[in-house]
Structure 1
Amino acid sequence: MRAKSLSLVAALLASACTTAGPDFHVPPRATVNDPQASAPFVSADDPAFAQAPVPDDWWRLYDDPKLNALVTEALSENADLRVAQANLEQAGALVRVAEAGRDVSTTISGGTSLGRPSSTGISLPGTVNYDIGASASYPLDLSGRLARGIEAARADAEAAVAARDYARVAVAAGTTRAYLAVCSANARLSALDAILKLQRETLNATQRLQRGGRGTAFDVTRAQGQVDSTLAQRPAILASRQGALFSLAALLGRPAREYPKAVEACTVAPQPDRPIPVGDGASLLRRRPDIRQAERQAAAASARIGVEVAQLYPQISLGASAGFTGPVSGIGSGDAFRLNLGPLISWSFPNRPVVRARIDAAEANERAALAQFDSTVIDALRETETNLNRYARQRDRLADLIRARDTSARAAAQAGKLYRFGRADFLQLLDAQRSLAEAEATLASARAEMIDDQVDVFLSLGGGWSEK
């Protein structure tokens, strides 16, 4: 009988001597392995871009000390980054929990009991027995359940690192965007003030002409309407600037009223003095933290299949226990000593259908994670190409708008001279000045949009974090 038991144990050990579940590999047909995904960007064939590596600290391309200081502070103080760091630390703790499952576990127990034969009288005292001892067990993990659990926990921790890095990307881009938005708003206000100055000069001249009998009240009213229309644009720009300042405060981990006051004085949005370095698809796939996060999540899902498959096998550990058991009257005697040593086997036969269902669920979860990995890669490439193309076309549009603004400025100046010499009527002058105001406003808005598109390019390229 003893030989049969040992044979059964040996058979069970042999059946469970491999790590359960699949080893994770990115499928050959995954989008990340498609040669077209690693090719140069279609939209990067433009003078605005350079086929050079994207620097992690891309915001330094603007060569603005204030911006550099703001991003450094945001990366240190931002509340969302503190959340991401805490999530990373939690994932690391869970790895240690999983790894501790391989350690020896010990138990110390003790107790007493009162026993009495059923044939004795009720009034007779029984025998007081005691049991005290210690036990230890070491899991053999022949099925790989613990190994797969550790593998899943480590993959989760690596995904948490990628999530933290992606948060850094977002914070760096958000800080840069907010700072440039403040500068851009002030630039728009400066352009608006220049137009207002011209329109007020026209209004004053019209009022003088009316007093001298050469103008009409209608001319004055129309000139005043031009001034009022331009003034009406200021509140929206001021609100946009203040909103950007409040955003800066939040990104820096401050209350809204503690926004950086020195930034209010920025009147010229800085621009990189060289084409934007964009790299290629292959470098993007290596650099984007969200792609790395999706790949690690798929790896964790694969490892959890093994955790569930291991439930089909017996859980075997080496155990030992020692102690004293017997009547209290003979406590500590040699006869009371006990010692046990041997393998401990547990196997839950009734739950096999449940285990099979959990395996099916884990495999479905892995398929979903791999599909999400593909989706993340596809979205990253689409987003990058779209932002590159939009920025390049916005630059073209800006060049056209600059020419249109310059033409409108010449026309307004010419209309002013003609009006003063009586060779053009007041309506022509107002129309020329209105066209100039519209051209200036459109140009200022286009510059702000181009700056925003520029930050979108850097954001989609995934700069802003470092493995150092």
Structure 2
Amino acid sequence: MLFPPKLQYAWARQGRGLACAAAAVALAGCAVGPDYVRPAMHIPAAYKEAGPWKSASPSHIDGHSDWWTAYGDPTLDRLITQADTANQNIQQAQAQYRQAQAAAAAARASFWPTLGAGVGAERAQTNTNGLKLGNTYSVGLTAGWEPDLWGGIRRSVQAGEAASQASAADLAAARLSIQATVAQDYIQLRVTDLQLDLYTRTLAAYRRALQLTQSQYASGVALRSDVALAQNQLSSTQAQAIDLQAQRSQLEHALAILVGKAPADFSLPALSGPPGGTLDLPIRLPETPTGVPSQLLERRPDIAGAERRAAAANANIGVARAAYFPALMLSASGGYSSGSFVQWFDVPGRVWALGAALAQTLFDGGLRKAHSDEAIAAYDAAVAQYKQTVLGGFQEVEDNLATLRVLRDEALAQKQAVDSAQLAERLALAQYRAGTSVYLNVITAQTLALSAERSLVQLRGRQLVASVALVKAVGGGWNAAQIEPPRAAENSAADAKNAQNPENPSKAS
């Protein structure tokens, strides 16, 4: 069958256009710029501090469950759950993550052609073959596509995806930070409750001591100064208890903000113990497994986020280098244009066009080189930040392991000090009743006993706060696999190669 020559010519042009498009797709297999390899750094085989430590009543922190439940306090569980859903810092991090996801989706959209539609009406006067005045009506579709010949778009997509993963890690880090802050503030508030209970019992003992001195003075066997000393001891201790109330109020207000409430809408009742008994903390000290240092790179969200930012910066080097190469733009359009609507579908009213344009910047005053140098410098900065974050993570783990070890030993010694101070207080009171000692000895013994007991309570709080800090330092059960898909075999091989001979992206082509 024979076709009209014009139609054969049009098909030939379309065939050449399709061939150009196929060639462009084939060329799109290459990508300029360095392939990303995780920055290499020395990782110690073990922590300097021994671990994991064990508590008297160990409860293991399971990485597959909420870490704070190991502390065994339902009130703490409720507060952290509220903070996860209502804390404004977490809400901000979630919004920033959605923003990063949208930016990554926008970068991926560049892979696809753009399609547009247009409708127009025009009234014009022409002088061709006489003066003519007429209308023109048109409708059509346009399409354009820039093949990713040099991988610039692909590198841009890689950068966007890495930035999105970094933002996901930032969200996890923000959530872990808020959770740890809630736990630490709650622990300090409960320790304050314990101190207030201690002061309540101490003030009751001091009132009895004041009554004793007053009776002794009335009987003529004590000096007026003994009464004054007892009164001073009672009043100064009352002032210290009032100061603790101020501390508790501030901690309660801080917890209110963390769970997304105004302080006026939030209250946390004080602990209550058995009548006549000693109040105790409802929080137990769990066992925190630290693992080995190399696991920290996958278990801390801030380290994972810093690593993903290095990957994004590496991809941006390829984006900058793609600007050195020519850009190919393929375009097509088709539609109808005529002086009246009824003539649209006639052959003269049909219009179409295919086109290709290759553009290359010949001189830009060093702009492309400056952008390339800027991208390389940004990568170097991201690598340095990543390594510093890793080192900081090691320090935090070591610090809290050392703190827990020291506090454990300190608590044992402080418990002995409390026992000795309480014995000295009882003996001093007995000697004063018998008239064989002055009341100044009683005051000294009481002051030492109160100070020793308060220090012991504070040590328990410091142990729990350090335990939470250690949980945060080792990632709180989080893992980088939550934001990063399984690594391809070639990437794993590249990581192994990098561990022996790190590549300098600034020298890669």
Match of 2:287 among 275, 294, 305: 275
Cα separation, 2, equivalents of 1:322 and 1:126: 26
Q: Which AA in structure 1 matches 2:47?
A: F
What corresponds to 1:381 in structure 2? 394
Q: Alpha-carbon deviation of 1:125?
A: 4.5
- Secondary structure in 2 matching 1:185: helix
Q: Which AA in structure 1 matches 2:449?
A: L
Match of 2:50 among 44, 49, 54: 44
Task: Indicate whether 1:294 and 2:300 are aligned.
Answer: no
Q: Alpha-carbon deviation of 1:129?
A: 5.0
Match of 1:144 among 148, 151, 155: 151
Q: Alpha-carbon deviation of 1:223?
A: 1.0
Q: Alpha-carbon deviation of 1:417?
A: 1.2
**What RMSD over aligned residues (CA atoms) do the two structures have, in Å?**
2.9
Preserved contact between residue 330 and residue 336 of structure 1 (Cα < 8 Å)? no
What corresponds to 2:187 in structure 1? 180
Q: Which AA in structure 2 matches 1:301?
A: A
What corresponds to 1:394 in structure 2? 407
Task: Indicate whether 1:84 and 2:93 are aligned.
Answer: yes
Q: 1:430 to 1:290 in 2, by over 3 A?
A: same
Q: Alpha-carbon deviation of 1:330?
A: 9.7
- Unaligned stretches of 5+ residues in structure 2: 1-15, 274-278, 484-509
1:344-355 mapped onto 2 (5 Å cutoff): 344-351=357-364, 353-355=366-368
What corresponds to 1:314 in structure 2? 326
The percent of aligned pairs where both chains have the same amino acid is 29
Cα separation, 1, equivalents of 2:178 and 2:271: 20
1:158-197 mapped onto 2 (5 Å cutoff): 158-197=165-204
Q: How many residue pairs are counted as aligned between the two chains?
A: 452
Q: Which AA in structure 1 matches 2:150?
A: S
What corresponds to 2:469 in structure 1? 456
Per-residue CA distance 1:416-437 (angstroms, 9 max, x = gap)? 1112112222222222222212
Q: Alpha-carbon deviation of 1:327?
A: 5.7
Q: 1:279 to 1:261 in 2, by over 3 A?
A: same
1:109-148 mapped onto 2 (5 Å cutoff): 109=118, 110-112=120-122, 114-117=124-127, 124-126=131-133, 128=135, 132-148=139-155
Q: 1:373 to 1:305 in 2, by over 3 A?
A: same
Q: Which AA in structure 2 matches 1:62?
A: Y
Q: 1:265 to 1:167 in 2, by over 3 A?
A: farther
Q: Which AA in structure 2 matches 1:20?
A: V
Q: Alpha-carbon deviation of 1:157?
A: 0.8
Q: 1:368 to 1:47 in 2, by over 3 A?
A: closer
Cα separation, 2, equivalents of 1:161 and 1:215: 72
- Secondary structure in 1 matching 2:323: helix
Q: Which AA in structure 1 matches 2:99?
A: Q
> Which sits farther off after the overlay, 341-350 or 356-365?
341-350
Task: Indicate whether 1:445 and 2:458 are aligned.
Answer: yes
Cα separation, 1, equivalents of 2:153 and 2:30: 12
Q: Alpha-carbon deviation of 1:352?
A: 6.8
What corresponds to 2:112 in structure 1? 103
Preserved contact between residue 54 and residue 278 of structure 1 (Cα < 8 Å)? no
Cα separation, 1, equivalents of 2:365 and 2:151: 18
Task: Indicate whether 1:65 and 2:74 are aligned.
Answer: yes
Preserved contact between residue 294 and residue 369 of structure 1 (Cα < 8 Å)? yes
Q: Alpha-carbon deviation of 1:349?
A: 3.1
Q: 1:127 to 1:404 in 2, by over 3 A?
A: same
Q: Which AA in structure 2 matches 1:79?
A: Q
Q: Alpha-carbon deviation of 1:346?
A: 3.4
> Which sits farther off after the overlay, 308-317 or 281-290?
308-317
What corresponds to 1:24 in structure 2? 36
Task: Indicate whether 1:230 and 2:237 are aligned.
Answer: yes
Match of 1:432 among 445, 470, 493: 445
Preserved contact between residue 53 and residue 278 of structure 1 (Cα < 8 Å)? no
Cα separation, 1, equivalents of 2:293 and 2:284: 22
Q: 1:204 to 1:46 in 2, by over 3 A?
A: farther
Per-residue CA distance 1:141-169 (angstroms, 9 max, x = gap)? 11112211111111111011101111111
Cα separation, 2, equivalents of 1:261 and 1:226: 31
What corresponds to 1:256 in structure 2? 263
What corresponds to 2:492 in structure 1? none
Cα separation, 1, equivalents of 2:330 and 2:265: 62
What corresponds to 1:154 in structure 2? 161
- Unaligned stretches of 5+ residues in structure 1: none
Cα separation, 2, equivalents of 1:115 and 1:349: 42
Q: Which AA in structure 2 matches 1:433?
A: Q
* TM-score, normalised via structure 2 length: 0.81
